[in-house]
Amino acid sequence: MLKAVLNTFIVLHASSVFNDAGIFVGKALRKNDGLKQLLILYENKIVESKVKNWGLIKIFVQTIFMLNFDNKIVEELKYTNVVALVEYTVSRALEEENQNRLILECLKV
């Protein structure tokens, strides 16, 4: 369910960013600590002793990537642990087999 929500979010945010509509879906994450909650969910999933859903981790990384197109969100991300989370994700993904796509997504961020 979370994966589907984040996928929808990515598509909506991308369309609003690239259409220059001025109504960024990312604003919803800035309200009520939504961005903070997203990072907490991401951290909780990536620090599990055995990551069960690498697809969900990839969606978290793709969401972070899409949020970087909103200058206000980038400014907020500077004061979070997002860089450490992405670095840790790369480290964990390198330990697993067949996580090349996830590593590429992390490099984009």
| pLDDT score at 68 | 80
Question: What's the full length of the chain, in residues?
Answer: 109
pLDDT-wise least confident of 28-32, 64-68, 98-102? 28-32
Q: Using the 8-state DSSP alphabet, how is residue 98 labeled?
A: S
| pLDDT score at 14 | 62
Q: Is the pLDDT of residue 73 over 60?
A: yes
Q: Is 50 exposed, middle or buried (CB count within 10 Å of its CB: 0-12, 13-18, 19+)?
A: exposed
What is the domain range of residue 58?
2-108
Predicted structure pTM score: 0.78
- In the chain, the number of structural domains is 1
